[in-house]
Amino acid sequence: MSPTAAVLLPMAEGESHFPPDPSLFWQPLVKFGTIDLFGSEMTLAITRPMVVLALTVGLLSWWLIATTKKAAIVPSKGQAGTEAVYNFVRNGVARDMIGSKDFMPFVPFLFTMFVLILFNNWMGIIPPVQMPTMGRIGFPIALTLLVYIVYHWIGVKKHGFVGYFKFMIPAGLPGWIKPAILGLEMLTFFVTRPLTLALRLFGNMFAGHLLLVVFIIGGWELFQQGGLLTAVSIPAWIMAFAMTVFEALVQFLQAYVFVLLAASYIGGALVDEH
Amino acid sequence: MTGDITLLGYGLAAIGPAIGVGLIFAAYINGVARQPEAQKILQPIAILGFALAEALAIFALVLFFIRL
């Protein structure tokens, strides 16, 4: 049972948790005490998403190593499956978005991000776990920071520091509009892109998790009331099933879109002319 | 009248992205209907456009929860 549900269930009467506060979602498993960092007090703790992330990384490592240990020209079934996923990222995402000339250095990065986000997202609907790690803002922020550093670093390495800003302005524009374009492009490159990248992944996973909690736990609450409400809980659970299937699709899509956009930004930094 | 005006704001904010996503996939379906071989080429572009248009609706949802 997710911690969100564990908090919402006992409060049938009395105080209401609606509308929910972000502090409702801070439910650490083990606390290690507080430290003073940057002037504010921060609690060191192990939380459930951290445990799920460790579990996912362990599973991923086991899967990738086990299927590629005895890599042969004629692949076994495990190796064929891993190769299918790898080819999907390498050809469908990296080569199409970055271009066939210099996409290879980025394929390990993109493949790792794709399988990491995908497995973590799918943990949101696998029964014993049911915790999408990316539904807590810290994790998408970490991944977005990596992408942010990579595409800026690549752009500056290719065009030089001053050339990077010159590269943001396309050629053949009237002179009076160039500062406006530069301002807009800087806003896009430095603010909008990382913000939207992180928030898109976070929002989708968070909203999907809440949706499932609402239907499953709401159905349970309805079931316990008796009478007509118990009859309504069955459609609620059917909706929960439909939402679970929909969530599986959305989770795959969000992992794909994150990697697609990361590859697009890297490719955009590598083109010769804007 | 009691309630939460941020929920009203979220409802209004969800109109635009919904129409945008509908337009994107209408264009995708039209393109594939005219030329079925283009399906593999158009699909990543459709998914990309969908994610960008959907992002604004997601921001609205997040802003509702953090009561900005």
Question: In this predicted structure, what is the pLDDT of residue A14?
Answer: 44
Instruction: Answer whether residue B26 is part of any domain.
Output: yes
ipTM > 0.85 for the complex: no
Instruction: Answer whether residue B32 is part of any domain.
Output: yes
* Residue A22 exposed, middle or buried by CB count within 10 Å (0-12, 13-18, 19+): exposed
Question: In this predicted structure, what is the pLDDT of residue A2?
Answer: 55
Strand partners, A43: A34
Instruction: Answer whether residue B1 is part of any domain.
Output: no
| Chain A residue whose CA is closest to B7 | A19
Q: For chain B, how big is the Rg over CA atoms in Å?
A: 16
Instruction: Answer whether residue B41 is part of any domain.
Output: yes
Using DSSP's 3-state secondary structure scheme, residue A130 falls into coil
Are the beta carbons of A2 and A207 closer than 8 angstroms? no
Say if B62 is an interface residue toward chain A (CB within 8 Å): yes
Q: Residues A56-60: contacts with CB within 8 Å, 24+ apart?
A: A56/A116, A56/A119, A56/A120, A56/A123, A56/A133, A57/A116, A59/A119, A60/A115, A60/A116, A60/A119
| Chain A residue whose CA is closest to B62 | A203
CA–CA separation, A250 vs A212, rounded Å?
Answer: 13
Question: In this predicted structure, what is the pLDDT of residue A1?
Answer: 46
| Chain B residue whose CA is closest to A197 | B55
CATH number at residue B25: 1.20.20.10
Question: In this predicted structure, what is the pLDDT of residue A147?
Answer: 94
- Which residues are CB-contacts of A226 (< 8 A; sequence separation ≥ 6)? none
CA–CA separation, A253 vs A246, rounded Å?
Answer: 11
Contact B62 A19 (CB under 8 A): no
CA angle centred on A186, ends A97 and A104, rounded to 5°:
25
Q: Residues A31-38: contacts with CB within 8 Å, 24+ apart?
A: none
Instruction: Answer whether residue B49 is part of any domain.
Output: yes
Question: In this predicted structure, what is the pLDDT of residue A4?
Answer: 56
Return the half-sphere exposure (C-beta side, CA atoms, 13 A cut-off) of residue A154.
22
Contact B51 A257 (CB under 8 A): yes
Question: In this predicted structure, what is the pLDDT of residue A12?
Answer: 47
Instruction: Answer whether residue B5 is part of any domain.
Output: no
The per-residue pLDDT for range B13-50, each reduced to its tens digit, is: 999 999 999 999 999 999 999 999 999 889 888 988 88
The b/e string for A254-263 (b: 16+ C-beta within 10 A; e otherwise) is bbbbbbbbbb
Q: Into how many domains does chain B fold? A: 1
Mean per-residue pLDDT pooled into runs of 10, chain A (274 residues):
55 54 75 76 83 93 89 81 91 87 90 94 89 90 94 89 83 82 86 89 90 89 85 90 92 93 90 70
Contact A199 B62 (CB under 8 A): yes
Domain residues for the domain of B55 are: 16-67
Sort out which chain B residues have CB atoms less than 8 A from A96's CB and list them.
44
Instruction: Answer whether residue B20 is part of any domain.
Output: yes
Instruction: Answer whether residue B7 is part of any domain.
Output: no
- Point out the residue among A19, A96, A254 whose CB comes nearest to the CB of B4: A19
